[in-house]
Amino acid sequence: MLKTEETKVLRDPIHGYIHVDLKVVWDCINAKEMQRLRRIHQLGGDFQVYHTAEHSRFSHSLGVYEIVRRMVYEIDQLREVLSDYEKAVVMLAGLLHDIGHGPFSHAFEGISTYKHEEYTVKIIMENSEIHQILAACDKVLPSDVATSSVKATVWGTIMARYVSFALTACATMLVAEAFASAVTVRALKSRVAVGIEPFNVMDEMLASISFVTLITNLVNMCLKFMLITLVVGSTSDFFAAIKSDAPYPLV
């Protein structure tokens, strides 16, 4: 993969600095299909209600590229396993994964017969400036990037659902713990009111709270282990899927 004459650095409000040193990546960023994303809101029409929701699919795609770039170069297991070509493929997949979005992002899919992933594949694989840039670098690069882009979108959705489930479960446990503590304190007040010895009541309360805390901590540990397992497992499956030749359905 050809390098740029100098590393391009883009200032980003979220990621700090975005670095580009591959010519094919830089050319794709400047392609008209990619520049079109500057005019597409990431959150569709939400900016009409939330006046700061102005960020675009262009800035989002650059952010995804930068995260993938850091993953493949800073995580030892990925840097050592992936070849330079494979690193370029997944970085380009991150950059181009949303290139098929229409006006108002997902809202456009409500009036279209295609999903944005299908448009993404068409733009990468058919007659476009992006396709010409990729094919000029390597004739199989468009196919590899198109396949990886779809798989990245699918696995990203799956991982987001896993994380959402785990966070919801953790929040539920926190609410349960607060409820249990409130019930314990209420029981203490009731028993004191009917004349039960405070010392005995305090012993019972401490025992009750200790039991509730023990159970809550065990459940929280299980949830954290589940979250780590799901994220690590999904990440491994994601890169295994990218490297495989098996087709993946659009969802």
Lookup: tokens for 226: 């589940």
Number of helices followed by number of strands (H, E) in the chain: 9, 2
Indicate the SS3 state at residue 123: helix
The active-site residue out of 15, 41, 97, 116 is 116
Indicate the SS3 state at residue 114: coil
How far is it, in rounded angstroms, from Cα 97 to Cα 117? 8
Beta-carbon contacts of residue 109 (< 8 Å; ≥ 6 apart): 102, 115, 116
Beta-carbon contacts of residue 11 (< 8 Å; ≥ 6 apart): 17, 18
Lookup: tokens for 155: 């696995």
Q: Which stretch of DSSP H or E encloses residue 21?
A: strand 16-22
Lookup: tokens for 116: 């944005």
Assess whether 116 carries a catalytic annotation. Answer: yes
* CB-count exposure of residue 84 (10 Å: 0-12, 13-18, 19+): exposed
Lookup: tokens for 65: 């590229």
Can you list the positions of beta strands (E) in 38-176? none
How far is it, in rounded angstroms, from Cα 240 to Cα 181? 45
Which residues are catalytically annotated?
Answer: 116
